[in-house]
Chains A and B, each alone.
Chain A
Amino acid sequence: MTFTAHIGWMMAQAVLPSDDNLQNLFKELSTQSLVQAVGTIAIAYGLLLAVQSAARVVSERVPRRFRLLIKQSVPFLKSLVLVIAVARVVQLFINLTGSNLLALTGTLAVALGFAFKDYVSSIIAGVVNLFEGSFRVGDRIRIGDHYGEVVKYGLRELRLQTPSDDTVTIAHSTTWTTPIENANSGQLEAQVITEFYFAHEADINRVVNILYQAAYSSRYTQLKLPVVVIIAERPWATHLQLKAYPMDARDEFIYKTDLTLRVKQACARQQVPYPQVPAMEKTD
């Protein structure tokens, strides 16, 4: 028995409902309350779908600076709809007094502790993530081996759209223990590192200048943010990292391609030597 279930069991024991309590816990069932409950659930479901669809359509049509704002509001709007719907349904069938609430939560905790602990853990992790803000819809994150844009934030799971256009579904509970790498943290821009290798005899100042100019001349570059070149020596080459930000994190890979193309064209024009890669030893 898990700790949560154990606590629930204790609470349930403490307020073990007597016959009277049980009679008071539930309201009398009527056709009207049933219809109202079904109506509430239907409306909530419709609203959830509407929020999701409207956000998807509108966020892709408005200017970039409003895109993330709209996407980030979706989980809050959905939570709001769910909380109101659940509260309404509970109010239709249950007398919400202090002792009733305690009895109900205790019983629920026992039931959930046994049957749906992973599901509940995911829901709680989802709510916690929502308030901790470690990532938001529209961010580009890495969870475990999966990297991509958060395209959906559900009750139990989040969905990532990977660079190869696959969708990965990850339960929120995964984030209890797995580190989350966030590339843009709610911003439109995310740093992109493009790696280059040149021969030791290359004129390094000229190469650094080419790299800076490649970043400044690329149409994707966010010129409001800094461009940096980092140099490191390797036994067989000089390793350069060009760190710059595209205006839209979504352009990450096409941006790298553009930078590489520009640098290669300039290096070919200026005859900058590339390293000779040492022969790799075959390993069985």
Chain B
Amino acid sequence: MTSLIPPLLRALPPWLSNYAITEADAGLAELPAGLQQELMLKLNALSVPQPYQRAVRQATRQALKAWQANPETTSNCLVILSQPVEAIAAIVKASLEDYLLDCDVRFFLRSYRRPPEPLSILSHLQRELEPEQANEQAAPAAPITETDLQEHRPTVMVIPSLEQCFLRCIQGWEGIEYFQQLGTQDTSRFWVFGCNQWAWTFLSKVCQVDAYLEQTVSLPALTDEDLQTGFASLMAFSMSRPDADLTLHISPDEAHWSTLASLSSGTGTIAAQLWLQSLRLEETDLTAEGTLPAEVQQAELRATRPSLPSLTSLTVMDRYLLHSLLIHRLMTRAHLALSLGENERTIHSRVQVLQRAGVIVQQGRWLSVQPAHYPKLRSELGNNNFLIGKA
């Protein structure tokens, strides 16, 4: 019964749920901005969670084996699906880079970002992949003995992120149709794609991608133990400063990790953001300006009970904008405008508002949804009749 309460609270409209969860940790203050940035960098530098890597490797190995054993009838494509706030490209790369040593693994479009003119995506993909097609091989013959299997060194083509290969506009998903065609026609190679759940659901509706790339595997939900292990290196760390090095300690209790796992639904990036937002310092440790005194060399960070940040009241336009951002994960303002059929000025003003409210984050020209807001946004968009990805 109690497990029903968090989803119900998330389903409440923002103007009600703002009052649903409040922080009441008296005597504690937020971390200084510099310390938050430092922690953010450390979180970003953490390696891809082991359960994710294990899941990707296991699924790829199984699918590959099945295809090798029966190349005529078994699909030669595998799609790894993640939540739209996870960096799927990094997860796929980290998982497969030094793994399939018995295969010829080729990574494509490693850091490919959607070009300013989205209609040129198809020609970019063709340029990248056509030299490979020139060396077209015949499909491997079905093995008869164990030796046949061992002698054949399969080629594994990895496209780490599909969502950068399309834009929701007319002719915007020709790149995906090209992959569909490649995957089904070039049966001499095994294909691994990374994609986010929302993009996958969208593409399945508009170009039936799931009919062509039929094998999918979703990343597993991280448990409280996984989170504890993943963040272990951050429980005590040093920061070099001009005056003296600062050592920080954090010692959250068991309940902290289980709350974190539950609120984030086991999604790594959401858990990382919520964890960061839950950290506090004793008010007495800080100066009047909210910074640490220069002479401090050691400090204890307090991990308070994690909670989802309250979602600002969204306009109809905001919902369309955020839905588009979650489908594409990373977008420029120009792409957003083109996809939504609005002029850039209108988009710009709403993006500014959402950025100030902390719902959207910007890195260079690229906009994305702040992961900590994803659980509430998912409920909000689902309740407003949008097509959303699986949880």
Contacts and interface: CB of A to CB of B under 8 A. Distances in A.
A124 interface: no
Given A64-B383, A247-B386, A223 B205 contact: yes
Interface stretch (A16-24, A82-90, A258-266): A258-266
A282 interface: no
Interface in B375-391: 380, 383-387
A219 interface: yes
Interface residues of A, number: 25
B171 interface: yes
A66 to B, nearest CB: 7
B384 A218 contact: no
Find the residue from A65, A213, A217, A262 having the highest chain B CB count within 10 A: A217
B339 interface: yes
Specify which of B205, B320, B383, B385 lies most central, judged by the most chain A CB atoms within 10 Å of its CB. Answer: B385
B341 A210 contact: no
A229 to B, nearest CB: 14
B154 interface: no
Nearest to B167: A217
B170 A63 contact: no
A128 to B, nearest CB: 31
Contacts of A65: 383-385
A66 B191 CA distance: 43
A190 interface: no
A118 interface: no
Contacts of A213: 170-172, 206
B205 A217 contact: no
Secondary structure of the A contact surface, majority rule: helix
A63 B339 contact: no
A142 to B, nearest CB: 23
A189 B168 CA distance: 21
Given A63-B384, A262-B341, A217 B172 contact: yes
A224 B168 CA distance: 16
A210 B174 CA distance: 12
Interface string A218-253: 110011100000000000000000000001100000
Given A61-B13, A223-B205, A223-B206, A247 B385 contact: yes
A188 interface: yes
B13 A261 contact: no
A90 B383 CA distance: 44
A62 interface: yes
A214 interface: yes
A222 B385 contact: yes
B15 interface: yes
Contact of A217 (B13, B169, B383): B169
Contact of A248 (B13, B15, B341, B385): B385
A274 interface: no
A64 B202 CA distance: 20
A175 B128 CA distance: 65
Contacts of A248: 385
Interface of A: 61-66, 188-189, 210, 213-214, 216-219, 222-224, 247-248, 258, 261-262, 265-266
Interface of B: 11, 13, 15, 168-172, 202, 205-206, 320, 323-324, 339-341, 380, 383-387
28 contacts: A61-B13, A62-B13, A63-B380, A63-B384, A64-B385, A65-B385, A66-B383, A189-B385, A213-B170, A213-B171, A213-B172, A213-B206, A216-B168, A217-B168, A217-B169, A217-B206, A217-B339, A218-B341, A219-B168, A219-B320, A219-B340, A223-B205, A224-B205, A247-B385, A248-B385, A261-B341, A262-B169, A265-B170
